[in-house]
Structure 1
């Protein structure tokens, strides 16, 4: 998928009508941010182009509320940008509701902070399994995904590598590459939120891995997402416990995740909430 931010024609009215002008974070490679363009293309039925946050038509996957507020001092003249399934890293200024046209939020914590009611909730990353990508068969490996800012203790890393049961999945790659690696796993440990979301999308059991220094309030976005699909989150697992914890995992795939209905309900709500003005007739 080409990024066209440098193209002076990318902001013309004709281009905006034929393509969705989407902002996603791309200063550092991160599959969770990259996923946004693929999902929006799927749901809208239109090609997507990267657009800077000042001029974007749409904000979707990612904790982008803070970024929007930093780039919009006041409401934009004319049509406000649309927000679909976006989240936040923690409490933000409620004036966000004046700056964007909110169609869906990541979860109920975001909705409560902004004081909005009766909005569809969920992360659009749940559509990862619906993308037109190769579907590799499960090979029985256990995936480990660390947030792009996180490392792992060398001693723990050596133990996991020696066991031969784990697949270390680098989150600093494109969404299709990471999705393919996740889809082959029978279980996933992840401190990346979208590592868990993509696993949920494929019905792969997964465990929240601790990432204490990845954000100022690292738990917020996980609880926000979990509540949107009725998934109970307790305390995240520390990386040193992966080896012991994984020894008790079932060797056979389960029929479905216990919160599978919450996932399906969230996807249906998100699909219905996608801005009709950005839809291609007859799209997904």
Structure 2
């Protein structure tokens, strides 16, 4: 089967981890098949995957693509990211294992095998959030280190595994911190934050999920993605019902209509406001305010999952991966 996963216009270490992790763990599984695919890490259930007719899904999550897109394919769900995805798909509970990124320490030739504290407090915005200016200054003012999730999996995971603490808007920033036993806290800066996929993952660990709304250093993210779901400074707890409703809506939504003339005018007005800095003044946004919020967030980090929990999930996932190999699919 051929390894397939999401390739964006810019790198993202969580997606790119697929290309390193799976061939290192089970190189015998992969070839250049044009019909059979292995679908791995990412919120990619339902994503475009022509020409493959037979899909082997392993640790993927739902939430970005319409589920009906795979209706005419032969799909085997070996395991999915968590119980929210499993319930949405109508799968048995044992199909919900965890995100495959927790297997990174099992490849010591590419990733650290264990945590070694460097003393760094890392700030990891979502890879799209980093298009907005001011993050370097915000991290510097807080006395923290900005980590770009658009780096290579080896570089990003290596830094996370050595961190003292991780403050992250990147889901895989949290997953890798938790895997390596590093305390972490989640934050959101715009409407681009997808809380349902986070709860999907934390539920696989037997935990709930809470995140904090942090003001970004500039308002440009508000222009692209809208305001976050709660007021700045608010701590938000996500329930299973809310996550399921959100995930169902995301996977059933129709294609967006073409931009209307009115919308194009509105976009030009927003672009002008962005250039003039009016929105930053209106929303009182600056790197200094972001730094202050991040400093507060560092005081409420959550402790990571126990080593026993991580080891148990890694063992179960590797056993399931062996089943894929024995299946002959």
Tell which structure's C-alpha radius of gyration is larger: 2
Alignment of 1:2-41 (within 5 A): 21-27=2-8, 28-41=10-23
Pairwise CA distance, 1:45? 4.2
Pairwise CA distance, 1:243? 1.4
CA 1:26–1:49: 2 relative to 1, 3 Å: farther
How far apart are the structure 2 equivalents of 1:87 and 1:48? 21
How far apart are the structure 1 equivalents of 2:208 and 2:306? 9
Aligned partner (choices 219, 222, 231) of residue 195 of structure 2: 219
Pairwise CA distance, 1:265? 2.8
Aligned partner (choices 132, 144, 159) of residue 181 of structure 1: 159
Pairwise CA distance, 1:109? 0.6
Q: Deviations over 1:42-66 (max 9, x none)?
A: 3314486788xx7452001011113
Pairwise CA distance, 1:22? 0.3
Pairwise CA distance, 1:126? 0.5
Alignment of 1:37-116 (within 5 A): 37-46=19-28, 55-68=35-48, 71=50, 76=53, 80-89=54-63, 92-93=66-67, 96=70, 99-116=74-91
Give the total of aligned pairs: 244
Pairwise CA distance, 1:213? 3.1
Say if 2:136 and 2:146, in contact at 8 Å, map to a contact too.
no
When structure 1 is superposed on structure 2, of 267-276 and 186-195 the one drifting more is: 267-276
Q: Gaps spanning 5+ residues in structure 1: where?
A: 1-19, 280-284
Pairwise CA distance, 1:146? 1.1
SS of residue paired to 1:173? coil
1:150: which partner in 2? 129
SS of residue paired to 2:42? coil
How far apart are the structure 1 equivalents of 2:75 and 2:312? 25
Point out which structure has higher relative CO (alpha carbons under 8 A, 6+ apart).
Answer: 1
Report the aligned-residue RMSD.
Answer: 3.1
Query: More helix per residue: 1 or 2?
Result: 2
How far apart are the structure 2 equivalents of 1:245 and 1:31? 24
Say if 1:91 and 1:113, in contact at 8 Å, map to a contact too.
no
Pairwise CA distance, 1:39? 2.0
Q: Gaps spanning 5+ residues in structure 2: where?
A: 216-289
Say if 2:56 and 2:76, in contact at 8 Å, map to a contact too.
yes
CA 1:56–1:174: 2 relative to 1, 3 Å: farther
1:238: which partner in 2? 214
TM-score (normalizing by structure 2): 0.64
2:226: which partner in 1? none
CA 1:179–1:108: 2 relative to 1, 3 Å: same
Pairwise CA distance, 1:275? 4.9
